[in-house]
Chain A
Amino acid sequence: MGVKRAGYKLLTMKVSGHFGTTRKWSLTHLALNPWVQLTWIIGVVSLSGYIFFWMNNDQNARRKEGLVSMCDQRARMLQDQFNVTVNHVHALAILVTTFHYCKSPSAIDQETFAEYTARTAFERPLLNGVAYAQRILHSERGEFEKTHGWTIRSMGKEAAPISDEYAPVIFMQETISYIESLDMMSGKEDRENILRARATGKAVLTSPFRLLNNHLGVVLTFPVYNSRLPLNPTVNDRIEATAGYIGGAFDVESLVENLLGQLAGNQAIVVHVYDITNSSGPLIMYGNQSIDGDTSLEHVSKLNFGDPNRKHEMICRYLQKAPMSWQCIMTPTFVCVILGLVGYMIYGAALQVMRVEDDFDKMRKLKVQAEAADVAKSQFLATVSHEIRTPMNGILGMLQLLLDTELTRTQNDYAQTAQDCGGALITLINDVLDRAKIEAGKLELEAVPFDLRSILDDVLFLFSEKSRQKSVQLAVFVSDKVPEFVVGDPGRFRQVIINLVGNSVKFTEQGHIFVQVHVAEQVHSLIRSKNKAFVNSECCTENFNTLSGRQAADNRSSWEVFKLLDDELLPDTSFNIVNDENVTLLVWVEDTGIGISEHAQKRVFTPFMQADSSTSRNYGGTGIGLSISKCLVELMGGQMNFTSRPQIGSTFSFTVKLKRFKRETANGLKKSLSEDMPTAMKGLKGVVVDSKPVRAAVTKYHLRRLGIQIEVVNSIKMAATLLRKHGSLISRNEKLPDMILVEKEIWISDEENSFPLLSSNGLHGQSWKPPKMILLATNLSPEESDRARASGFVDTIITKPLRVKAVAACLQQVLGITIPNSSESTKRTTGLHGLLCGKKILVVDDNNVNRRVAAGALKRFGADVICAESGPEALKWLQIPHDFDACFMDIQMPEMDGFEATRRIREMEKKATEQMERESAEWHIPILAMTADVIHATLDKCLNCGMDGYVSKPFQETSLYQAVAKFFQVTPGATT
């Protein structure tokens, strides 16, 4: 049990070991890692973000570029327009200089000025109006006021306060006539501007202020010099030469408004113009006070209005915040979505792959489990069958013993039935055990040399009684090409043959069962070369040239083919197979039974399947045999096939690969292998009278094995002629036939004709030893037998099936040849007593009672028994040299167990053998274990440590016999 459990454990360990290997680090598992997933998501999002920012920045840059260009364009245009206007004012200044001061009297008066300026107003669209203010020193004020008829007024419209200088307006455009006589220097800022303009000679601007029309504006002031101005005037020169000032109010707001109106895209941007002369507080010149529009982006363009002391700038903004571009949003979104989907797809695929892999793993595990279960089942079956077999043997043995006792007829009948049933059961158990072993892969084939022909003879003998009862002809033929000894597993080979022949016998009611063995290569080459014969043999319908004359399923064994095969037996150089170490044998078992119906043919080799359910009813059996046979044949490297025709018969054929037995290597073995074939008949001559060529060939085959030369004739007449011929030609050195073997069939059909033959026999009787007349028959009724005797077959009748041994025995009897040694061989088979009588046996057991019982049992069978209580004592007894023939050893003993004792004994023997190398004898005492548990492991261990066998304890006659018989058969050869 322990061993079995260990076996399971090993199995499971193997299983787990197989799957314990960590999974490969694959892409799939990468895809399922949450960290990898997180990284992927983060990666996708950040990529989208990057794309978004990149696109946004790009757009912003373009927007800014647009703003810059628009702003700069506006600033430049504004500046240009402004400058154009300033130039015009400058021109006016020149005009005033030219026509007012250089001409005397002046060519310009208010009227002229007003008209001129009004008519040239288109040149100065930005100026509300222009005016000219004359420079009046305080000393000149009175005279000036007198000339013009008005007083100089300050900006507040009252008389100007006294100052050192004045600048009253004298000429002005009609539009601004209200400023006539106003002193332009009355305002502090204006005065500074004027002074500055005078000193520089350039246009000067005021800071912005609200004009009368409520627009923001600036005043432009230009100095007007009189003609006395030198070419490169100094500041003082300029001040000296200053005659007056021309000025105009710029309506900056309308100026910019006009300007922007002309340009495209003015709706989109907000423009502010500032005076930033005072850097701490920029003054707005255009635009709303409140800063609206997109404050995030602005562009500042410098404006140069020609006044170096004043600084202006233009600030542009977009009216609206940059709208989010769809592209900016959509592109990253799409990227994000697509990559996300790709990720999800990969994840999904990985998940699927994983699931499939898991399933696959699961399946594989299940498969291994199932296989393990199957192996376990087989192991279980093997063990259980074995366990059943052991007590079964006991039961059978006991029944045998029971049958040996005196029983009433009924009791005897019951016991016989019980034993038969037991026998059937044990056969079945053996079959199941075999099958289980094959399935568990535990069946190991032996490789020992054996004589194939004698095995076939034995098998035939086994079925001879049954076949004779059914009057079915049973025959075997082995081709001469088949080597005498082959190496293989004789037991298994026999098992297959027994199974096939057994089936045939079971299913055949009349006709024949014919076993043939050929060398496969030979048959195959024959089929190749002479295919015709195989095809054409179909033609003969009436009389089938088979063993019994009945049609067989497979035509291969008909005489036409058989002859060919037999012809091939003649020395043929084309076959070079003798050198080959392996030999493939082809075995046919042909019967003329009920055959197998076509639909059942498919499941012939399925275990527990018979052709149909009625089969088991009519013929019995379990249907496991064929499947086992097939397995065995396959294990032996062959194949099994069959041909079958319902109501005609079946032919099973199989091939086995065996090895040739090298004769030269073990010549001595040959003798022990083959049951001594009587050689006394070598060289004899015989005549077989048989009209059926196949049957005659079989007879010939058997007799040839005995060394008898055979001639075949068709009828008794021919035999007689042959005899006469020989009789007349006696002078020649030719040998006369020693025997005439007549087939019963011939004899029956030709009864009358046999007499002349016999009489002729008597005719020449004196001159030579008459040939012995032998009748060959499958079965013979008593009256037939009498008749046969009467008609001259006084010598003998050989009942078929022919077996070499039986034939030899008969012939010996007939020919009066005695064979030495035969008495010894019969003695050997007289049972346990014969086996053990006179043998000196050592019994080793620590248990008094056991020892006594074992000794008693062995003594009873005539053995000379010596007891030992322990291993060491046994060793003492078995010190070499000793004269023990065998040793029975208990396994479980204190101090030194049976295994250990055996090991030591074997060591001792080995040493002794080595020392006495010159003597060929080898020390090897057969040691048999006595054990109560008959599980495999214990038995294996017994064999492993050098024991030769085992006897189950307590002793039983049958098991003891089995064990002892097995190795005492060998011992005579080894010890004598």
Chain B
Amino acid sequence: MEFVGQLQRQLVQFSHSLFVEGFLDEQFQQLQKLQDESNPDFVLEVVSLFFEDSEKLLNNLSIALQQQIVDFKLVDSYVHQFKGSSSSIGAQRVKNMCVHLRSFCEEKNLERCLMCLQQVKHEYYVVKNKLETLLRLERQIVEAGGTVPFIA
């Protein structure tokens, strides 16, 4: 029980830091709220979907930006998608980066687009890392027989 309590505290602190540092926003809380007994793995499901989707999109983006003639429309549609899913998940920083990337895309500034894409990737991997940690912690708590505390 001691162990569970520790894990729970850890989880609360960790998730709090995520919100404070702006990796996640209230949307993620909303997601957490949507998870209940009837739908116990909702967050995990959505987050995995997000990872899957994002990796595909990032891959597509990298390819699109390496073309001889860059189709900025295509790039824009990818970024839009990415922005949508990241804002749905509440990955605030990724979303903000996507906004920047979109504006560069509008300017058709390839150089800055590429730079920004790097940053987007960076932010994505950071948040992915964080989310994975968060989910792992939750899983550990559940495995240890505790309940996931509600983070607000």
Chain A residues at the B interface, C-beta cutoff of 8 Å: 394, 398, 402, 405, 846-850, 852-853, 856-857, 859-860, 892, 894, 932, 953-957
Bits for B79-115, please: 1 = Cβ < 8 Å to A, else 0.
0110011111110000000000000000000000000
Given contacts A405-B152, A856-B42, contact A953 B26 (CB under 8 A): no
Asked if B84 contacts A849 (CB within 8 A), the reply is yes
* Cα–Cα distance between A955 and B87 once the two chains are bound (Å): 10
Quick one: given A848-B52, A849-B50, A853-B46, are A860 and B88 in contact (CB under 8 Å)?
no
Q: Is the CB of A953 within 8 A of B87?
A: yes
Q: How far is the CA of A847 from the CA of B81 in the complex (A)?
A: 6
A852 and B30 contacting across the interface, CB-CB below 8 Å: no
Q: How far is the CB of B76 from chain A (nearest CB, A)?
A: 10
A849 touching B36 in the complex, CB below 8 Å, given contacts A954-B30, A956-B30: no
Q: Are B85 and A849 in contact (CB under 8 A)?
A: yes
Residues of B close to A956: CB separation below 8 A = 30
Instruction: Give every chain B residue within 8 A of A894 (Cβ-Cβ).
Output: 77
Instruction: Report 28 cross-chain contacts, Cβ distance below 8 Å, ordered by A residue.
Output: A405-B150, A405-B152, A847-B84, A847-B85, A847-B88, A848-B49, A848-B53, A849-B49, A849-B53, A849-B84, A850-B84, A850-B88, A852-B46, A852-B49, A853-B46, A853-B88, A856-B31, A856-B39, A856-B42, A859-B39, A860-B34, A860-B39, A932-B84, A953-B84, A953-B87, A953-B88, A954-B30, A954-B90
CB distance from B15 to the nearest CB of A (A): 15
B53 touching A847, Cβ below 8 Å? yes
- Whole-angstrom distance between the Cβ of B84 and the nearest chain A Cβ: 4
B45 and A892 contacting across the interface, CB-CB below 8 Å: no
Give the docked Cα–Cα distance between A849 and B46 (Å).
Answer: 6
Q: A955 to B150, alpha carbons, bound, how many Å?
A: 20
Contact with A along B16-36 (1 / 0, CB 8 A): 000000000011001100101
Does the CB pair A849–B30 fall under 8 Å? no
- Once A849-B53, A860-B36, A892-B80 are accepted as A-B contacts, the answer to whether A932 and B31 lie under 8 Å apart by CB is no
The one of A853, A892, A957 that contacts B31, using a Cβ cutoff of 8 Å: A853
Cα A394 to Cα B86 in complex, Å, equals 19
Q: Are A957 and B30 in contact (CB under 8 A)?
A: yes
Do B49 and A857 touch across chains, with their CB atoms under 8 A apart? no
Q: Which residues of A contact B88 (CB under 8 A)?
A: 847, 849-850, 852-853, 953-954
A894 to B60 CA separation, bound complex (whole angstroms): 15
CB neighbours of B27 from chain A (8 A): 954
C-alpha gap A953/B34 in the complex (Å): 15
B49: shortest Cβ distance to chain A, in Å?
A: 5
Residues of A within 8 A of B77 (CB): 894
Q: Which residue of A lies closest to B36 (CB)?
A: A860
CB closest chain-B residue, reference A398: B26
Q: Cβ of B30: which chain A residues have Cβ within 8 Å of it? A: 857, 954-957
How many positions in chain B have a CB within 8 Å of any CB in the partner chain?
26
Which residue of chain A is the closest to B81 with respect to CB atoms? A847
Spell out B's residues near A (CB within 8 Å): 26-27, 30-31, 34, 36, 39, 42, 45-46, 49-50, 52-53, 77, 80-81, 84-90, 150, 152
15 more contacts with CB within 8 A, not counting A853-B88, A954-B90, A955-B30, are A394-B26, A405-B150, A405-B152, A847-B53, A848-B49, A848-B53, A849-B84, A849-B89, A853-B31, A853-B89, A856-B42, A860-B34, A894-B77, A932-B87, A954-B87
Give the chain B neighbours of A859 by CB distance below 8 A: 39
Nearest Cβ in chain B — how far from A938, in angstroms? 14
Within the assembled complex, what's the spacing in Å between the Cα atoms of A953 and B87?
Answer: 9
B46 in contact with A856 (CB, 8 Å): yes
Q: Chain B residues with Cβ under 8 A from A856's Cβ?
A: 31, 34, 39, 42, 46
- 5 A-B pairs with least C-beta separation: A849-B85, A847-B84, A850-B88, A853-B88, A856-B34
Smallest CB separation, A514 vs chain B (Å) = 46
Enumerate chain A residues within 8 angstroms of B26, measured Cβ to Cβ.
394, 398
Residue of B nearest to A397 (CB): B26
Which chain B residues border A954 with CB–CB below 8 Å? 27, 30, 87-88, 90
Distance between B121 CB and nearest chain A CB, rounded to angstroms? 17
**CB <8 Å contact, A402 and B81:** no
CA distance A956 to B34 in the complex (A): 11
Complex CA gap A957/B152 in Å reads 16
Residues of A within 8 A of B53 (CB): 847-849
Q: Which residues of B contact A405 (CB under 8 A)?
A: 150, 152
Alpha-carbon gap, A892 to B84, bound state (A): 10
Nearest CB on A from B145, distance (A): 23
Q: Nearest Cβ in chain A — how far from B70, in angstroms?
A: 18
- Which A residues touch B150, using CB under 8 A? 405
Distance of A189 from chain B, by nearest CB (Å): 125
Contacts of A857 in B (CB 8 A): 30, 34
What separation, in Å, do the CA atoms of A449 and B46 have in the docked complex?
Answer: 46
A850 vs B88: C-alpha distance in the bound complex, in angstroms?
6
Please give, as numbers and ranges, the residues of chain A lying within 8 Å of B36 by CB-CB distance: 860
- A371 CB to closest chain B CB (Å) equals 33
Q: Bound state CA distance, A860 and B37, in angstroms?
A: 10
B89: A residues at CB distance < 8 A: 849, 853
Q: How far is the CA of A732 from the CA of B21 in the complex (A)?
A: 85
Q: Residues of B contacting A892 with CB < 8 Å?
A: 80
Report B-chain residues with C-beta under 8 Å of the C-beta of A957: 30
Instruction: Point out which of A398, A405, A847, A956 has the most chain B C-beta atoms below 10 A from its C-beta.
Output: A847
Question: What is the CA–CA distance of A850 and B90 in the complex, to the nearest angstrom?
Answer: 11
**In the complex the two chains form, what is the Cα distance from A955 to B33 in whole Å?**
12
CA separation between A954 and B24, bound complex, in Å? Answer: 13
> What separation, in Å, do the CA atoms of A857 and B33 have in the docked complex?
9
Q: In the assembled complex, how far is the CB of residue A841 from the closest CB belonging to chain B, in whole angstroms?
A: 15
Kindly report which residue of chain B lies nearest to residue A862, judged by CB atoms: B38
- Contacts of B85 on A, CB cut-off 8 Å? 847-850
Contacts of A402 in B (CB 8 A): 152
**Chain A nearest CB, measured from B148 CB (Å):** 15
Q: Which residues of A contact B84 (CB under 8 A)?
A: 847, 849-850, 932, 953
A680–B85 CA distance with the chains assembled, in angstroms: 56
**CB-CB nearest in chain B for A856:** B34
Closest-CB distance, A617 to chain B (whole angstroms): 36
CA distance A852 to B41 in the complex (A): 12
CA distance A932 to B150 in the complex (A): 27
| Chain B contacts for A955, CB-based, 8 A | 30
- Which residue of chain B has its CB nearest to the CB of A394? B26
> Roughly how many angstroms separate A385 CA and B80 CA in the complex, as a whole number?
26
- Cβ B34 vs Cβ A852 within 8 A: no
Chain B residues whose CB sits within 8 angstroms of the CB of A846 once the complex forms: 81
| Chain B nearest Cβ from A963, distance in angstroms | 16
Residue in contact with A852 in the complex, picked from B45, B81, B152, CB distance below 8 Å = B45
Most buried by B among A394, A853, A860, A894: A853
Within the assembled complex, what's the spacing in Å between the Cα atoms of A690 and B16?
A: 63
Complex alpha-carbon distance, A849 and B42, angstroms: 11
> In the complex, what residue of chain A is closest to B89 when comparing beta carbons?
A849
CB B14 to nearest CB in A, in angstroms, measures 20
Among B31, B84, B86, chain A packs the most CB atoms within 10 A around the CB of B84
Which of B36, B42, B77 counts the most A-chain CB atoms under 10 A from its CB? B42
CB distance from B73 to the nearest CB of A (A): 10
Chain A residues with Cβ below 8 Å from B49 are 848-849, 852
A847 cross-chain contacts in B, Cβ below 8 A:
53, 81, 84-85, 88
Q: How far is the CA of A846 from the CA of B30 in the complex (A)?
A: 21
Task: Tell me the complex Cα distance, A953–B80, Å.
Answer: 13
A19 to chain B, nearest CB (A): 35
Query: Which residue of chain B has the shortest Cβ distance to A405 in the bound complex?
Result: B152
Which residue on B lies nearest to A849, using beta carbons?
B85
Instruction: Give min CB distance, B127 to chain A, whole Å.
Output: 13
CB proximity of A372 to chain B, nearest CB, Å: 28
Report Cα–Cα, A894/B57, bound state, in Å: 14
In the complex, which residues of chain B have a beta carbon less than 8 angstroms from the beta carbon of A848? 49-50, 52-53, 85
Complex: how many Å from CA A453 to CA B59?
A: 63
Alpha-carbon distance between A846 and B152 when the two chains are bound, in angstroms: 30
Name the B residues within 8 Å of A853 (CB-CB): 31, 34, 46, 88-89
Q: How far is the CA of A848 from the CA of B47 in the complex (A)?
A: 11
* Shortest Cβ gap from B100 to chain A (Å): 16
Contacts of B42 in A (CB 8 A): 856
